[in-house]
Chains A and B, each alone.
Chain A
Amino acid sequence: MVEPFTTFTSRTFVLPQESIDTDQIIPARFLTTTSRAGLGDFAFYDWRYDAQGKTKRDAPLNQVDTQTCSVLVAGDNFGCGSSREHAPWALRDFGVRAVVSTSIADIFTSNALKNGLLPIVVDQATHERLLADPGGRVTINLEECTLSAGNEPPVRFEVEPFARRCLLDGVDALGHLLSHTAAIEAFEHAHGLEPRHD
């Protein structure tokens, strides 16, 4: 069960690179886990640690305090690459609550929404403003689907309505699917998809 997603205000941190892929978000060698917990330690691992595993002191990510800066503003095409849900698990555990970009990969979006991590696609002008103001204060209102920064009027963003409802209510899609078991069974029957015993 996920916590209900409420309106919140936070500061941003900025990763301006385009096409930050899931191998950057969490390198594949950390996927040999059977748990979803604790993956924040591996978030952007190769950007934060050197080949010997020592903290890169000059890496901006090592200065980020996600207690106060929980909104990531990232370059275009964020989250491209693999389907690993470990990417939003790692970001969420690292302390990120929303990612803002001009485009966000499809599978990443789907995975993020299931884990209380809000993907927000904004227009280029808004994006440029946010990129230019790391540490700026933003308010994200999921009920209204708006993002407000500084003195600018709030910007509307799109969230798939069902995923939005799930986030606001703190429920997940599996419960909804299970409530349609009878329909699924009827569909199997009508289309000859029942188990074969051969």
Chain B
Amino acid sequence: MSPPNEPKILFDKVWDRRVVRSETADAPAILYVDLHLVHEVTSPQAFAELDARGLRVRRPDRTYATLDHSTPTLPPNGDGVRPYVTPDAARQVTALERSCEKHGIRLADWDSADRGIVHVMAPELGLTQPGMVVVCGDSHTATHGAFGAIAFGIGTSEVAHVLATQSLMQRKPQRMRVTIDGALAPGVTAKDLTLAVIAELGFGGGTGYAIEYAGEAVRSLDMEGRMTLCNMTIEAGARCGMIAPDDVTLAWLRGRRHAPHGAAFEAAAVQWLALATDEGAAFDKEVRLDGSAIAPMATWGTTPDAGLPIGAPLPRPRGDSEGRALEYMGFEGGVANTSHPIDVVFIGSCTNGRLADLRAAAAVLRGHHVKANVRMLVVPGSENVRRQAEAEGLHHVFTEAGAEWRLPGCSMCIAMNGDFVAPGQLAVSTSNRNFEGRQGKGARTILASPATAAASAIAGVLTDPRPYLGVDGHG
């Protein structure tokens, strides 16, 4: 721990207040976990481990479960039967229902008005708060770092550790600050910023680090945009990305169900704001980007760092991996990837399945129609998002344009619930990974923002959305 008067960074302030046992040469620190989020896919073996050892869940009140990864996004049939992709997928859900029942864990089950993708749901409910340590058996857990929490993904063995002890063994990572100066240009969104940051850092560039995002472009983002940015931190190899709490954070949290209320909120707010990195505090590494230079971005390869401004010529391969990526994608080096017919457009996921994302897509799509032969799927990130979107009539914008409007879930982002991109098809997707086969065996994925995805659905090719928004992209 640092001496009391030394300037400290956000990560260290949160870390230090949750260290049960300090790290030594022989053993990592024991880190206390404030909030443990659980879903059906990475938890069954952890609950089985507890059963095998005769252990109970130590803090069911700090554990919250949902169904999202393998769950169908189509409604039940007339007999109330949900269209699970396999009997195994249904068994996973039953297993989680049983485990939650047995251990007294709150579960946003099928009948819950709160159910949603774990990283959409928890912030909505005010479960995620500044200064917390938040973990989940999911690599996109860094999403919660948008609130000034240390949030990171863990494996199933560690899920069992947290279930049984509410703590984890962790070594403190190196700390990196990524500062994005300047204001984003009109029509440039948090997802474009995110893809630009990952392109700058490289796919493995954050390995071993926790990242703090700072600078004018980050401060100007709303909470949803901040969550998009932190969400994809793992795509640069860093487990944890975070942003200091400020008035935007407080405004989001005020009045949320599980956030403190009244005087307790005001007292907490003072502590939360004090978590911000002190002037003069040192990071292990600093990276700076010019936010005003960022244009709408899309990927061309099979790693998330393969991002370029839409319309820019793709790189000529310098090595085997770039050559292999171009070949898999069916793109050519030296020319832009804006003339290849799109087969599928997917809007959703823990990266871009929030209300602001659906509004951005609808703003582009309103009054237009999805190009013939393009299949467009819009999947809200949670039941709350779905209700709000429907209250605003956004679902009509989507369905009238020819898109499918589905029930909440991870859906085509991870393609394990029956929603997938067919072999060889080209998708523009607002999700987080463009790995070979990520969206289905042989599927080819271009990652982009909700606005870009919507514009591409209309044009049938990868398209800069700014003309649809009345924004001049070349000013």
Contacts and interface: CB of A to CB of B under 8 A. Distances in A.
Q: Do A and B come from one complex?
A: yes
Interface of A: 16-19, 21, 23-24, 27-29, 31-36, 46, 51, 75-77, 80-86, 88, 103, 105-107, 110-111, 114-115, 160-162, 165, 172-174, 176-178, 180-181, 183-184, 187-188, 191, 193, 195-196
A21 B34 CA distance: 30
B172 to A, nearest CB: 12
A114 B137 CA distance: 15
Is the contact region of chain A dominated by helix, strand, or loop, or is it mixed?
loop
16 contacts: A21-B303, A23-B433, A32-B41, A32-B70, A34-B44, A75-B321, A81-B433, A83-B138, A85-B155, A103-B204, A105-B237, A161-B25, A172-B157, A177-B167, A178-B165, A193-B34
A174 B207 contact: no
Contacts of B113: none
Given A31-B70, A111-B157, A114-B157, A77 B204 contact: yes
A178 B70 contact: no
Contacts of A17: 320-321, 324
Given A16-B320, A46-B437, A80 B157 contact: no
Contact of A177 (B59, B161, B234, B321): B161
Contacts of B30: 177, 180, 183-184
Nearest to A164: B26
Given A19-B303, A34-B44, A46-B441, 13 more contacts: A17-B321, A21-B435, A23-B437, A29-B415, A32-B92, A77-B237, A81-B139, A84-B42, A107-B153, A110-B158, A174-B164, A180-B20, A184-B165
A155 B20 CA distance: 36
A29 B27 CA distance: 36
A83 B415 contact: no
Contacts of A31: 41-42, 69-70, 416
Contacts, number: 189
Contact of A162 (B161, B169, B435, B441): B169
Given A31-B416, A115-B157, A85 B321 contact: no
A16 B323 CA distance: 14
Contacts of A51: 423, 441-442
How many chain B residues sit at the interface, stated as a range, is: 35 or more
A34 B41 CA distance: 8
B155 A114 contact: yes
Is the contact region of chain B dominated by helix, strand, or loop, or is it mixed?
loop
B364 interface: no
The 3 A-B residue pairs whose C-beta atoms are closest, nearest first, are A111-B155, A85-B155, A83-B153
B237 to A, nearest CB: 6
A92 to B, nearest CB: 13
Nearest to A111: B155
Given A110-B158, A195-B59, A180 B321 contact: no
